[in-house]
């Protein structure tokens, strides 16, 4: 299955993505701001999600809120 960003661009392991919307992190008071760069992403078993490090912690992000950097 192919993992695509919000614009339909294919994502691969090691790509960098940018957030297109402010996102609240569940279980934390942290909010990831629009324009935050997430480098060196890893693909998950789900084509709708990627894993990456943002603000010092590893988290799973939905691809509908990302665009390829």
pLDDT band at 1 (very low <50, low <70, confident <90, very high): confident
Tokens of 48: 């709708």
pLDDT of amino acid 42: 97
CATH numeric code, 17-68: 2.30.30.40
User: What are 2-49's pLDDT values in tens digits?
Assistant: 999 999 999 999 999 999 999 999 988 999 999 999 999 999 999 999
pLDDT of amino acid 55: 85
**SS in 3 state form for the chain?**
CCCECCCCCECCCCCCEEECCCEECCCCCCEECCCCEECCCEECCCCCEEEEEECCEEEEEEHHHEEEC
pTM: 0.90
User: Domain coordinates of the chain in residue numbers?
Assistant: 17-68
């Amino acid at each position: 299955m192919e993992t695509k960003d919000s614009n339909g661009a294919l994502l691969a392991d090691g790509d960098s993505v940018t957030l297109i919307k402010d996102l609240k992190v569940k279980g934390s008071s942290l909010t990831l701001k629009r324009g935050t760069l997430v480098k060196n992403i890893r693909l998950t078993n789900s084509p709708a999600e990627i894993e990456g490090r943002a603000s010092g912690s590893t988290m799973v992000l939905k691809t509908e809120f990302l665009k390829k950097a």
